[in-house]
Structure formats: C-alpha cells, structure tokens
Amino acid sequence: MDFKKLLYFVTIVEEGQITRAAQKLHIAQPPLSLQLKSLEDQLGVILIDRENKKFEVTPAGWTLYKRAKEVLHSMSGIVAEIREQEQGMRGKLSIGTVMSCVPYLPSVVKLFQQSYPQVTFQLWEDDSYRVEELLQSKRIELGIVRLPLQSGLSDHTPDVSIHRLQTEPLVAIPPAAKAVVEPIIRIEELCHHPLLILRGQGDYGVYHRFMDVCKIKGLQPNIVCESPDVSTLMLLAESGIGIAVVPRSALLLRLEQVNYAEISPTIESDTAIITLKDQYLSMAARNFKRLLMESMANSIPFVKFVPPRSVSQKRTLPPPNTAE
C-alpha cells in the first residue's frame, strides 16, 4: 500500500465527494476513482458505499481513515525532522575534546543553542590520541585536540582535516600556599621543583615539547606526576604536591583567579578542530565548527593575571629539595 493511495483516500473522505477531492488533488476524477477501487481491491473491503449515487463511508472506511491520518501525519513529521536535521536545527551532535580545551566550549555551546535549541550534545572528554580514535571510528563528528595528531606529525595527516584554532603557551601553576609572584620563571629554575605535567597516550604532545626544551638546555626536570587531565594536575598543585605545567587556557577551568607564571623560553601548544576527510559532516556539526572558529578568531586575547604585591609581601617559589 503506497502513501499516495492513503492521501487520495483521506482527501476523498474529507471532501465528501470524489469530484471535489479530484479538484483539490489537481487530478481528473476517473483516475481518482480507479485509485479508490484499487485500494478497496487490495484490502478486500468496501471503504465507501457509492451505489445509487450516495456517498457513505463504511466502518472499515472510517477505521482506515483514522489510521491513514496517523500515518500521513507521521510521515509529515519524519520529512520535517529530516529537513530540519539537514539544516542543523535538530538532532544530536557528538563532539570529542581534550580537557584543556573545555574552556572554549561554554560560550560557543550557549550561542549555538540560542540558534538551534532542538540540537542536543554528546560530549566526549579524553586526550588527543583518544579523541582522534573516536573520530576515526565515527563515534564523534568533530574533535577539539592539541597538535600534532598522533597518526602523523604534520597538517597532512591521512583521512583527517585539521583546522587550527589557537596557539598558546604553557604556564606554571605553583602550590596554592606558595604562590608565584614573579610573572616569569626560567625553565632552569622550574626544573628544580616537583613538576606535574600534562601527558596523554600519544607519541608526542605537551609533555614531549617540554622535555625537548629541557634536553636542549641539558636539564633533567623533577617530574613527580604525569596525567592527561589538566583538572587533576591543577588540583594536585592546589594540594601542595608540586608545580603544574599546563596550557594557559586551562586556567579558565577555575572560577577563581589562579596565580601562574609564564615559562621562559616560551613553550607553545597548538589547538585545532579535526574532522574526517571526504566524509559527510552534518549541518549541525558544520554550524558548530563555524561558530567555534569565529569565536576563537574574535576572542579577546588572554589577559595575564599578576597578583598585587608590595616588597614586604613578596614571596617566591620555595627552595628546591636538595636532599635528592
């Protein structure tokens, strides 16, 4: 049974006459009568009693009318939903992100929901290596990662398109009770203190960038903890365990201002959106990607927080543990 026959039948019942129904459907009356007869033959019942010039819907006809209305209404809803989904107006958008890039999301998600309130989000948080895996397995449509990707150290990684977002420096967050006062700390001094550093599962990332600079300068950093989660590193720093070395955007994960020092020489970390090449990207994903890239392009540069101090209040990092 095709939907066109159901539409014809519903129109005939609602118009109460085949002639008026044909006019409304913009078809000739004889073909419409044949469609009705074909539907009755297919079901093996009389749907409309048309003998002796009367027009009376039978009980079977009323049952079909009711069910046909439900089916046609459902089909209209399906078509509307598909079209809205194509326009990015509804559906579920799956995004993967590294924790240190989570601060990018609130303003963009809020703006996105104002325009597309019927779109819901599924958010995956992991390191860049795992986010790339989720993209390759099509569990997510787009990912927000730190470069380089683990499947290749260039912007020409097979199967993955890379859209750069931002370059930012690594910073040092001291134990809360031993706040850094000087806005810059040299890496030679930093390496004498217990360090908590961001490290994911991949072969190259923030940890390796930091270690490369240390190697060039002949330094052996005192790393006491590695973790792929910047929130964990910052919490450990607050607990007095050591100095957290994290990308600067991670500071935005804290509602309160966080003391930090920039590291000299500057060690940079690049962030990017990744999508699969030659794969269909939903309109919702395309809209979100556009909003995120516009947001990053128009964002106000990160304002450095330097705590107020006087000479009598000045504190510095505690002396390194010389027992080792």
- Residue 161's contacts (CB-CB under 8 Å, 6 or more residues apart) are 274, 275, 276, 277
Question: What is the C-alpha R_g of the chain?
Answer: 32
76-84 long-range CB contacts below 8 Å, 24 or more apart?
84/118
Residue type, 131: V
44-69: average pLDDT: 88
Quick one: how many helices (H) and strands (E) in the chain?
10, 12
d(CA 75, CA 25): 18
Whether the link from the prior residue into 174 is cis, omega within 30° of 0, is no
Is residue 113 within 8 Å of residue 121, measured between CB atoms?
A: no
CATH architecture of 90-298: 3-Layer(aba) Sandwich (3.40)
Give residue-wise pLDDT tens across range 237-271. Answer: 989 999 999 999 888 888 777 888 999 999 999 99
Instruction: Assess whether pLDDT exceeds 70 at residue 208.
Output: yes
Name residue 223's beta-bridge partners.
Answer: 195
Per-domain boundaries in the chain: 3-86, 90-298
With CA atoms as reference, report the closest residue to 195 among 317, 73, 23. 317
* Res 205 pLDDT > 80: yes
Task: Decide yes or no: CATH 1.10.1450.10 for domain 3-86.
Answer: no
Match 């699969």 to its residue by tokens.
276
pLDDT of residue 283: 85
Separation CA 78–CA 93 (nearest Å): 19
Query: At 135, is the secondary structure helix, strand, or coil?
Result: helix
Question: What is the predicted pLDDT for the residue at 91?
Answer: 82
SS3 177: helix
Q: Lowest mean pLDDT of 41-45, 89-93, 141-145, 171-175, name the range.
A: 89-93
Residue 66 φ then ψ, to 5°: -60, -45
Structure tokens, 222: 């005192």
CA 252 to chain centre: 18
Give the lowest-confidence range in 71-75, 90-94, 178-182, 266-270.
Answer: 178-182
pTM above 0.75, yes or no: no
Residue 223 in 3-state DSSP?
A: strand
The pLDDT of residue 314: 41
